[in-house]
Structure 1
Amino acid sequence: MFNAEPVVSLQNAFIYQNDRIVLNDVNFTINKGEFVFLIGRTGSGKSSLLKTLYADLWLQQGTAKVAGYQIEKMKLSDRPFLRRKIGVVFQDFQLFMDRNVNENLMWVLEATGWTDRAKMKARIAEVLMQVGLASAKDKMPHQLSGGEQQRVVIARALLNEPQILFADEPTGNLDPEVSAQILQLFKDINKAGTAILMATHDFDMIRQFPARILKCDNGYVKSDDL
């Protein structure tokens, strides 16, 4: 039976950066398969909100449920299990520069509990094909363009067939043409059923690909669906 529970749900959540509240009384849900943009000025709390949702920052006040996990009750030992249900795409790639593409992806599978080498190899081939890099598995990151490196990062985020991708300014370091290609890739991933929450300040991109918007503004998150 299809489970209609939202993939992300926050209630009365206060988002902290160190000891400072950056977002007050946050309330929103993201449903399975939904595409949502997270906008706001630099320093408005977008990254802190995303880090809270993927359990890099502790949620001190309020409740948040992500992919079935209660974030405010989460122990450090639970974090790897949450990470198997979600994907995270960073602006600065965070690839291991001393390992080739295949080794970068293999590391994630090993870290999230995969053991069958044949299945691991097949899954890596699948995600690289999905992002249009089927022939890049033996290349080192420095041999790839910025756009290709970001495609590897997206492939990495897709390895465990996540319920949702959290993307933090994924086109921030890319030129407009490449940015549009990367956003189209996110749209294709979304059409295949993965929910996406993407932080961005690229309004051209939002105009090009209209979707629901959450805005971090003056310490609050405002939703265009309220």
Structure 2
Amino acid sequence: MTESTEPIVRLERADIYQGDRPVLNDVHFEIKNGEFVYLIGRTGSGKSSLMKTLYGDLWLHTGSAKVVGYELHNIKRADIPFLRRRIGIVFQDFQLLSDRSVEDNLSFVLRATGWDQQSKISKRIAEVLMQVGLGTSQKRMPHQLSGGEQQRVVIARAMLNEPRILIADEPTGNLDPEVGDQIMQVFRTINNAGTAILMATHNYEFLKKFPARTIKCENGTVSEG
């Protein structure tokens, strides 16, 4: 199986834990290359724990999972940074460095992941900012940006290392509906260009406006929505 045809995410008989407390049992699902998938469920249903397991923030104790080529049930702690370079992670709270410009926030990530040529760093930053509709915002500070613009920077940051999948945990949760729709359009554009997306959301309007496959966390299980 080539990398392009193998699922980007595959879980089999996986039990998801938050600390020593099981939150999801016997989880099976796959996400294919370029697929857009919603993850829905009530607060406390295990959505965030499932996502954290996929990017190595929580350990997988039982069952198996393979994400962007890494077997999570066998992964070494030293390999987790390499796993995360192939995954873009978008949080609800922006987590931008408030004392640095947009450009410096993005440059910080690239240098931390091994980029060292300034010309390549500048070129990649310009590319991702164009991708999210912020092509002229390199020198602005986070406090000079609206909430929607800050979230666009966060998405740009997640795209820096050309991930095969974006994992987004309630990315529009702090935004008003109109801005949330604009952010969804950014995600759809990225998805149409070939990046898979797994997005947790409480916003059921999105499921109507931007229909896609849905996975639901409920009563300790995961099922197709």
Q: TM-score range by the shorter chain?
A: over 0.9
Q: Residue in 2 aligned with 1:136?
A: 137
For residues 5-35 of structure 1, the C-alpha deviation after alignment (integer angstroms, 9 at most, x for no partner) is: 0000001000000110000000000000000
Q: Residue in 2 aligned with 1:66?
A: 67
Q: Residue in 2 aligned with 1:124?
A: 125
Q: Which blocks of at least 5 consecutive residues in structure 1 are unaligned?
A: none
**Cα offset for 1:38?**
0.1
Q: Residue in 2 aligned with 1:20?
A: 21
CA distance in 1, matches of 2:74, 2:67: 12
Q: Give the residue type in structure 2 aligned to 1:8.
A: V
CA distance in 2, matches of 1:215, 1:3: 26
CA distance in 1, matches of 2:47, 2:11: 14
For residues 149-198 of structure 1, the C-alpha deviation after alignment (integer angstroms, 9 at most, x for no partner) is: 00000000000111000000000000000000000110010000000000
Q: Residue in 1 aligned with 2:161?
A: 160
For residues 201-220 of structure 1, the C-alpha deviation after alignment (integer angstroms, 9 at most, x for no partner) is: 10011111000000000000
Q: Residue in 2 aligned with 1:86?
A: 87
Q: Residue in 1 aligned with 2:213?
A: 212
For residues 68-92 of structure 1, the C-alpha deviation after alignment (integer angstroms, 9 at most, x for no partner) is: 0011211221111111111000000
Q: Residue in 2 aligned with 1:95?
A: 96
CA distance in 2, matches of 1:178, 1:126: 22
Q: Residue in 2 aligned with 1:147?
A: 148
* Identity across the alignment (%): 66
Q: Give the residue type in structure 2 aligned to 1:60.
A: H
Q: Residue in 2 aligned with 1:196?
A: 197
Q: Residue in 2 aligned with 1:223?
A: 224
CA distance in 2, matches of 1:129, 1:182: 14
Q: Residue in 1 aligned with 2:30?
A: 29
CA distance in 2, matches of 1:112, 1:72: 24
The answer to whether structure 1 residue 170 and structure 2 residue 166 are counterparts is: no
Q: Give the residue type in structure 1 aligned to 2:145.
A: L
Q: Do 2:4 and 2:33's aligned partners in 1 also have CA atoms closer than 8 Å?
A: no
SS in 2 for 1:148: helix
After superposition, the CA RMSD in angstroms is 0.9
TM-score, scaled to structure 2: 0.98
Runs of 4+ aligned structure 1 residues displaced above 4 Å come to: none
CA distance in 1, matches of 2:83, 2:162: 12
SS in 2 for 1:72: coil
CA distance in 2, matches of 1:96, 1:76: 26
SS in 2 for 1:152: helix
**Cα offset for 1:2?**
6.6
SS in 2 for 1:193: coil
Q: Give the residue type in structure 1 aligned to 2:125.
A: I
Q: Which blocks of at least 5 consecutive residues in structure 2 are unaligned?
A: none
**Cα offset for 1:3?**
2.8
SS in 1 for 2:14: strand
Q: Residue in 2 aligned with 1:183?
A: 184
For residues 104-144 of structure 1, the C-alpha deviation after alignment (integer angstroms, 9 at most, x for no partner) is: 10111011111111111100000001101111111111110
CA distance in 2, matches of 1:73, 1:112: 23
TM-score, scaled to structure 1: 0.97
CA distance in 2, matches of 1:172, 1:34: 22
